[in-house]
Structure 1
Amino acid sequence: MGRAEKFSASFSRVFAPLIDLVYPPRCPLCGVAIAENGGLCGSCWAELVIPGEPACASCSRPFPPGIAGGTTQCAVCLHDPPRHAGIAAATLYNDASRRLILAYKHGRKIALAGQLGRLMAAKLPEPGEVPPLLVPVPLHRWRLWRRGFNQAALLAHELTRHGKGELAVDALVRRKATPMLGGMRRKARQRALSGAIEVPRRRAELVRGRDVILVDDVLTSGATTSACITALQKAGAVTVKICCFSRVLDESLHGDAAAAVTMRARKT
């Protein structure tokens, strides 16, 4: 932690009681009073689905109780072996995680990055002697201009604060704007993303020979993630692991609800 961050943390601790008196802490989902800022009330916390074991050895897709984990792979990974080195998801996508993401990303409550980042950090191991690069999924400059911030970059910064790696916020760039991917077939998504994401020449040396953690708020179809992995591996990344706050598992949803949830999640 740098000097500026230490000062900021000390400043926050000193003035936190006064701030809480003027602005009483509220749950960001339901608005009920809570003990301190940066958390959820008990009821809303209970609504979040935290993935655990048993799970797929390759992608951490949860298995039903009774199925052995360890080296067991899910049917999806057996059919189409992933190019990533694993998925670390803080939550599975449901109504509670959706509301948190909407408040954070579209409601512009960027202070939620700290809370989301803590949950994500808990899913990552302590880094080794050479820390991995924390690389956020990039936004095109026009979308960044409209929104005012890159939600994935803020989460990557939080993971850096928790000691999970070295931040490389500009290791990926999105060279061209892409349409909304929701509802597109796989080949159409691939065409839309072709050549859209790359490692800029000035950052290629940083990526080469390094393990990378690709950071995003929501993992849906994986089309954008796949384009990022392609760019990072082309630049010489050794491994690419995915870390996200929420992961959409379409097989856990049904009918129109699945389509509606997936569409909402893909509004990046």
Structure 2
Amino acid sequence: MSIDMHPETAAAIRAELAAIGTRHSGLQRRQRRSRLVASVAGTAAVAVTTSAAALVAAGLPGTTTTAAIGVMTTVTRTGPALVDIGRAPDSADAVVVEIRCRNHVGMVSVPTVGDGGSGRSCREGGSLRVVDGRLPAAGTTTVSIEASPGTRWTASLRYASAVTSEWGVNAHGETYGVENAAGHPDLVPGRTDDGRRGWVRWDEAAVADDVDVFETDGVTVIGRSTATVAPEVPLDQGLVDELRSVRTATPTPGATR
């Protein structure tokens, strides 16, 4: 087995490192600012466990219900590893992965459906749950867990099938709901400064500090949402170093299963 950084991971890290110190840096944006608009922050659909076999996102238009199927595989490894989880059922759309850090070293990451990934720094221990882990590549039965070489972790993996609800559409033809693999609707969840829940226009919330919060009709204003600006904090160099250290396990050329 050879160990190197996955091309997509490497590209994302290079882009982030190049952006540090500019307005394009995702790390520094997250350190600088938080907005009371869950969808804009990318956290509208938070999965919660409802039973031993089902993970259900918040019940807003566009959210996804993910039901675990098949047999669970649990392994403990150090550093990047390929985990064999067997042949995927025909109905599988993703892999549910739960990882617990076993030491306080580096970072662990799971490639997700599409071009993304979800990771966690293990410096303070803790765990990571991913409900949209990427399926094994065609012709294989292994999932790649990306990690820093010294990071020890335990992972439980299981295939899953997912159903995403349709976005709502108001009388003006505007869509409303939460972000998902299809993109984002016209109106996304928001909250007024006094705590009332409603909807904000995506194109306004993405660039403006203060936006109107509407009913689903996109016309009736129920209040304003003002972005909260946290004090500037230094860039976490440790996190940058951990991002640099993440590697992906790949099969040795010519190896047979």
TM-score for the superposition, normalised by structure 1: 0.25
Higher relative contact order (CA 8 A, sep 6+): 2
Structure with larger Rg? 2
Decide which structure has greater strand share.
Answer: 2
Decide which structure has greater helix share.
Answer: 1
